[in-house]
Structure 1
Amino acid sequence: MPKKCLAIMRREFFYMWRDRSLRYILLIGPLLGLILFYATYSAPVIKAIPTAVVDLDRSTASRELSDQFRNTEYLKVVAFPENFAEAEKLLQGGSVTVGIVIPEDFARNTSLGRQSNIAIMIDGSNIAYATNATNAVLLVTRAISAKIGVKTLVARGIQLTEAQEAYQSITFREEGWFNPALNYAYFLVLALALNFWQQCCMLAACMNVIGETGMNSRLQLKAMGVSKLQLFAGKSVAHIAAFMIMALPIYALSFYIFKLPLQCSFRLLFLFTLVFAVSLHSIGTLMSSFSNSAVNASRFGMIIALPSFVLCGYTWPLEAMPHYLQQLVKVLPQTWFFQGLNYLTFKNPGWGFISHYFLAMIVIALVCYGTAAIITSRN
C-alpha cells in the first residue's frame, strides 16, 4: 500500500507541474501578491496629508497657528481658501483631506482667555486616510491648545513655570503594544499574502475528487488495483505538501527579508499552517466530491475562499458582527487560522491558548474528509 500511495503522489506532482497555468498560479501568484502588498503598505504611517487652511482672522496669532499646522510632518498645507465654501469644494473634489477654518475672532478671544472654536473637517470617505488625519490633527491641536493656554495664564500675571505646571498636572502617556508604530505593513501584508495563498490552494483542492471521477483515469487506476483510499490519500498528501512548499517562500520573504514580526517559534507557525492546509484541503475535497464538473467544484470552493478573509474577523472584529454571523463563520478554517495568525505573529500567547485553534481546524478537517469519503464511496 505505501508503494502505491507513493506512486500516486509522484503522479499527482507530475500532473500539477505539467499544468502550466496551475503551476504559475501556485508558485508565482502568492509570492507576487506578497511583494505587491508589501510595496503598497511599506510606509508605516501616512504623512503629508493634503490640508487646506482658511484664515478668516488674518491676524498675527492666526498666521502663527497656520504656520504650526504647516510645519507638522503629518499635514501638508496645500491650499489657503478665502472662505468655508472654497474649502468645502476642495474636500468634495478630493484635492484635500483636511480642512481647517480659523474663526474671525481667534486672536481677540485667545488674548482675552475666551474659548475659540476652530472648525476641522476631515474627509471620512477613505478610512485609512481619515484615521491618520484625525491623529495628526489631534497631535497638533493639543500642542497648540496647551501653548495658547500657557500664554493666557502668563498674560494674567502667573509665572511661566507655574503656568506650564498647571497644564502639565495631568499627563497621558500612550503606549502602543505589539505594534507600537501602528504599521499597516506589519498588520496586513502577511495576512493578505496568505489569503491569496489559501485561495490558490482551494482551487487546487477542488480538483481532488472530480479530477479523477470526471475522467477515465479512475477506471484505469481501478484496473491496476489502486483503491479509492490509496488514490485520494496519495493525491491529498501531494496537494498538502505542495501547499506547504508554496508557503515557505512567503514566510521566508516576510520574516527574513521584509522583517515582519514573528513572536512565536517558526516551528509552531509551520505546524499551525500545516493544520490549516489540511483543513482547507478537506473543504476543497468536499466541494469536489459532490460537484458534477471541475468548473462547479471551483465555483463552490471560491464561494467559500473569497469572502472568508472578510468574515474571519481579522480586518473587522467578530464582536462587531451580528451574533448569527459570529457563530456561522466558526465553521470556516480561515476564521481560526487568521485569528490565530494574529496572536502568533504579534503576541505568542502560548500553547494553552492556541491549542483550541488547532483543535477547531482538526475537527473541521475530520468532518469534511469523512463526508467526502462517504459521498465518494457511493459513486
Structure 2
Amino acid sequence: MRTMLNIANYEVRHILKDRVAFAIVFLAPLFFAFLMGSVYYSAAINDVPFALVDLDNSLASREVADYFSTGQHFKINPEIDTCEKMEKAMREGIIRGGIVVPEDFSKKLARKQSTEVLVVYDASNLLWGYNIRKFAYEGMDEFNRRYAAAYLQSMGMHPAQSDEVLNLVNCSIMTWYNPTYSYINFLYAGVIFIILHQLGLLGVTLTIPREKEGNTWIHYLASPLERWQIIFGKSLPYIIAGIFNYALLLWFAHHFILLKIEGSILLIALLGFLYTCAIIFLGFFISLYAENSLQISRYLILLSIPIFMISGYTWPRYRIPGIIIAISELTPFTWMAEAFRKVTIKNLGFPDIAYNVLGLSIMIVIGLALSGTFRKDREPIAEDKIRVNGGPEYPRRV
C-alpha cells in the first residue's frame, strides 16, 4: 500500500508541475460546466420573437391577437405588420414565427362558417418549432372556448350553463418527474457526465505516453513492483480528482443552474464512484497502448460527440438501431446517464438501477483486467542502474 501511495504521490507531482495537466484535471470541468450552464440557464423557452399580421382588424381578430401579445410565450415585433415583412424577417432570423389573421375572419365567424388563421414557424431549430406550435395550439383553443361561450350566452344561455356545456369532457393532465418541462432537467446532467467522461479520459490516458516520451516507463517495467501497484498508484490521483469534480459539478448545477437533484445521496455517490473508476481504468488501458499524446487527443475528440448521441440520453432508445445501442453499452456514459436520471429526476431506488450498477461494475472489472495486460520485465537491479525505491521521488538514480 505504501508503494502504491508513493507512485500516486509521484503522479500528483507531475500533475501539479504541468499546467496543462492541472487545468485538465481540476479547472476545465468546472469551466465547461459553467459555460454549458450559462447556455441552458433559462430552462424553458419563452418570449419567442414573433410577428402578428392582422389583415381583418376587427374585434374578433384583436381577441386572437391579445393572447399572442399579452402572454409570456411570445414577444411580438410591432414593426412587422404585413406578410412580406414577416417572410423577410423569418429569412433574416429576426423572428421565429408568426400568425396571420385573414381579412374575412370576423365575417365568417358572424355567419358561423369555418375559418382559420395561419401560423408559420421556423422549424430549422426543432426546439423553436415544437414550442411555437404548442403555444399556438394553446392560444387558438383558448380563443375557441371563449368564442363558443360568448355565442351560447348570446343565445340566452346563462354563463354558468355555457361553462358546463363547454366543459362536459375535461382532460386532466398530470406531468410526472419534470412538470415545468425544464430543459436543464432534460439535458444538463448529460452535459456534466460527458465533461467528466472526456476530461477524465484525457487526464489518465496521457500518463503512460508521458512516461514513454520521457523514457521513464521502462523503470516501472523493470522494477519489482506488481502490476496492480502500478495500475492503482498511477490511477489513484485521477480517481480522487474525478470524484471531487463529480461532487463539485453536481453542487454547482443544483445551486446555480437549478438542476433537479433528488433521491438517495448514497446512490448518487455510488454512481459517481463507479462511473469515475470505470472511466479511469479504461483510460489507463488506452494509455498503455497509445503511441503518443497526440494520438490520444485526436481519438478523444472524435469520441465525444458520438458517445453522447448514441447513448439514448436525448433520443428514445427503442428508436435507435440495435447495433448502435449495443455499441453505446460499451461506454460508461450510457449506463451512468440513465441511472442518474432514474435516481435524481424520478427518485427511484437501488432495485431500479441495479442493472446499471452491474453494468458499471463489469466495466470496472474489464478495465482492470485489460490494464493488467502490459508486459513487465523483471531484471536484477544493478547498483549503477535506475530503480524505483520506496520513497516519494519516482524514479531516481542510486
TM-score (normalised: structure 2): 0.88
CA distance in 1 between counterparts of 2:89 and 2:199 reads 43
Measured after TM superposition, the shift of residue 80 of structure 1 is: 6.0
Could you report, residue by residue, the CA deviation over 1:270-326 in whole angstroms, capped at 9, with x for unpaired residues? 111111111111221222122222222333344334421222111222222222211
* Structure 1 pair 164–331 and aligned structure 2 pair: CA distance change class (3 A): same
Measured after TM superposition, the shift of residue 25 of structure 1 is: 2.1
- Matched residues, percent identical? 22
Could you report, residue by residue, the CA deviation over 1:60-115 in whole angstroms, capped at 9, with x for unpaired residues? 22123223321112112114645434322222221211211111221112122222
Secondary structure (helix, strand or coil) at the match of 1:262 reads: coil
Q: In the alignment, is the contact (CA less than 8 A) between 2:25 and 2:238 conserved in 1?
A: no
CA distance in 2 between counterparts of 1:370 and 1:240 reads 17
Q: Give the equivalent residue in structure 1 for 2:151.
A: 152
Q: Give the equivalent residue in structure 1 for 2:24.
A: 25
CA distance in 2 between counterparts of 1:377 and 1:75 reads 67
Secondary structure (helix, strand or coil) at the match of 1:62 reads: helix
* Structure 1 pair 80–102 and aligned structure 2 pair: CA distance change class (3 A): farther
- Structure 2 counterparts to residues 260-279 of structure 1, below 5 A: 260-279=259-278
Whichever residue aligns with residue 278 of structure 2, its letter is: S
Q: In the alignment, is the contact (CA less than 8 A) between 2:36 and 2:191 conserved in 1?
A: yes
Q: Give the equivalent residue in structure 2 for 1:65.
A: 64
Q: Give the equivalent residue in structure 2 for 1:316.
A: 315
Q: Give the equivalent residue in structure 2 for 1:96.
A: 95
Q: Which has the higher contact order (CA 8 A, sep 6+)?
A: 2
Q: In the alignment, is the contact (CA less than 8 A) between 1:34 and 1:190 conserved in 2?
A: no
Q: Give the equivalent residue in structure 2 for 1:40.
A: 39
Q: Which runs of 4+ in 1 moved over 6 A?
A: none
CA distance in 2 between counterparts of 1:317 and 1:305 reads 19
CA distance in 1 between counterparts of 2:55 and 2:146 reads 21
Could you report, residue by residue, the CA deviation over 1:124-155 in whole angstroms, capped at 9, with x for unpaired residues? 11222222222222222111111111222233
Q: Give the equivalent residue in structure 2 for 1:107.
A: 106
Q: Give the equivalent residue in structure 1 for 2:170.
A: 171
Q: Give the equivalent residue in structure 2 for 1:363.
A: 362
Measured after TM superposition, the shift of residue 376 of structure 1 is: 4.4
* Structure 1 pair 344–159 and aligned structure 2 pair: CA distance change class (3 A): same
Could you report, residue by residue, the CA deviation over 1:232-271 in whole angstroms, capped at 9, with x for unpaired residues? 2211222211211222221222234544322222222111
Secondary structure (helix, strand or coil) at the match of 2:51 reads: strand
Residue 255 (structure 1) aligned with residue 254 (structure 2): yes
- Structure 2 counterparts to residues 229-248 of structure 1, below 5 A: 229-248=228-247
Unaligned runs of 5+ in 2: 379-398
Could you report, residue by residue, the CA deviation over 1:137-181 in whole angstroms, capped at 9, with x for unpaired residues? 222211111111122223334333322221111122322211111
CA distance in 2 between counterparts of 1:338 and 1:247 reads 13
Q: CA RMSD in A?
A: 2.3
Measured after TM superposition, the shift of residue 14 of structure 1 is: 1.2
Q: In the alignment, is the contact (CA less than 8 A) between 1:98 and 1:133 conserved in 2?
A: yes
CA distance in 2 between counterparts of 1:352 and 1:201 reads 28
Secondary structure (helix, strand or coil) at the match of 1:100 reads: strand
CA distance in 1 between counterparts of 2:282 and 2:225 reads 24
CA distance in 2 between counterparts of 1:101 and 1:17 reads 63
Q: Structure 1 residues 293-302 or 18-27, which shifts more? A: 293-302
Q: In the alignment, is the contact (CA less than 8 A) between 2:8 and 2:236 conserved in 1?
A: yes
How many residue pairs are counted as aligned between the two chains?
378
Measured after TM superposition, the shift of residue 57 of structure 1 is: 1.6
Q: In the alignment, is the contact (CA less than 8 A) between 2:267 and 2:350 conserved in 1?
A: no
Measured after TM superposition, the shift of residue 11 of structure 1 is: 0.8
CA distance in 2 between counterparts of 1:163 and 1:378 reads 90
Q: Give the equivalent residue in structure 1 for 2:337.
A: 338
- Structure 2 counterparts to residues 203-222 of structure 1, below 5 A: 203-221=202-220
Whichever residue aligns with residue 152 of structure 2, its letter is: L
